[in-house]
Amino acid sequence: MQINRNRIEEIKKKIAREYPEFKDIEPRITEKDIGPQDEIFQKLDMGVPKQLRHIYRLKFTKVVEAKDSVSLDRILMVTLDENLEIIKIIESR
């Protein structure tokens, strides 16, 4: 699937509103196919679906300096489904 740049720009604007410290950060975009978790489906006796999910991850990284002059990476990871809808957002402390 070709990534929709307009949708990515919308997501970046949403992230900038909700997380202003990442406003001017350009994310690194990666794609991944996720297979079914066979062990879980077997334990639940649900059978195994033979469907792959395609996800995208936008990783925003910013270096900040702590009070003791140590550089720390602040990371915001946004996971999108195949329709480019946000599944979850993870932020480092």
Mean pLDDT of 63-71: 87
Helix (H, G, I), strand (E, B) or coil at 68: coil
What confidence score (pLDDT) does residue 78 get? 96
Residue 78, classified by CB atoms within 10 Å of its CB into exposed (0-12), middle (13-18) or buried (19+), is buried
Mean pLDDT of the chain: 86
- Predicted confidence (pLDDT) per residue in 21-65, tens digit: 999 999 999 999 887 666 666 666 665 556 778 899 999 999 988
Write down the pLDDT at residue 66: 84
pLDDT of residue 4: 84
CA distances from 35 to 44, 47, 49, 52, 65 (A): 17, 14, 9, 5, 39
- The domain segmentation of the chain, as residue ranges, is 5-91
Q: Are 9 and 29 in contact (CB under 8 A)?
A: no
